[in-house]
Amino acid sequence: MKIDRFFQLFVVKEKKFYPLFIDQMENICNAADILVTQFRDNNNENQGEYYKAIKILESKGDHITAKIYDELNKTFVTPFDREDIHILASRIDTFLDHIHDCSRKKVMYHPKSTYEEDVTIVDLIKEDAMVLTDIIKQLENLSRNSEYVLKQCLRIKEIEHKVDDLYESFISNLFHNETDAIELVKHKNIVQALEDTTDRAKDISDTIRSLIVKSA
């Protein structure tokens, strides 16, 4: 047993990390909400405003992540392994970065149309954010709520698989039907960014599942 985990058996654990993780996930939910609106809005004049709003939330997320790292450096006894706190914070931050990147690509590439598959995947990204927020709220009582959390982690995995299927079908149809090479590249890069974002959500879920194994 690691020394820091040994001490955790006897010393009151610092709980300051839990609200920071929750704040970060709620921030991500707000960004995902805006992303859904952005991809459903056909008015190109509004796209830049959506991107600016998500960029502000991404910057806020960077500050929360920095706060978590700062607290990690100052805290002797952590609620779970220090490395796991760092990994979880990093992966949550990366998820937000990818949401930001999806919004940026929508503005930067300025495609002539938005495919239905894009909107469907964005809706699933929003669901990822909501489910992960629910999971993070269980962190303080992870051992007691492990069965419920594992069920929620399974939903994240199901979303990732569903998006993989959508992505493969979309890319196949895109290369078969799109005759404008420039538009093809635009849509390929956008849907790739969306698919990558759901992968990053699963990374968070995998981290939580690892924590459950360690806490057993």
Could you read off the pLDDT of 35-63 as tens digits, one per residue? Answer: 999 999 988 889 999 999 999 999 999 99
Q: In 3D, which of 118, 122, 211, 204 has the Cα closest to residue 155?
A: 204
Instruction: Report how many domains make up the chain.
Output: 1
Average pLDDT, integer, range 99-111:
97
The pLDDT, as a whole number, for residue 12 is 42
- What is the b/e burial string over 155-173, where b = at least 16 CB atoms within 10 angstroms of the residue's CB? bbeebbeebeebbeebbee
Residues of the domain holding 161: 3-215
> What is the CATH classification number for the domain harbouring 129?
1.20.58.220
Q: In 3D, which of 185, 205, 33, 160 has the Cα closest to residue 110?
A: 185
Retrieve residue 72's tokens: 């990690």
pLDDT surpasses 90 at 104: yes
Per the CB < 8 A criterion, the answer to whether 187 and 180 are in contact is: no
What percentage of the chain reaches a pLDDT higher than 70?
A: 93
Q: In 3D, which of 84, 89, 102, 36 has the Cα closest to residue 62?
A: 89
Q: Between 214 and 185, name the one with better pLDDT.
A: 185
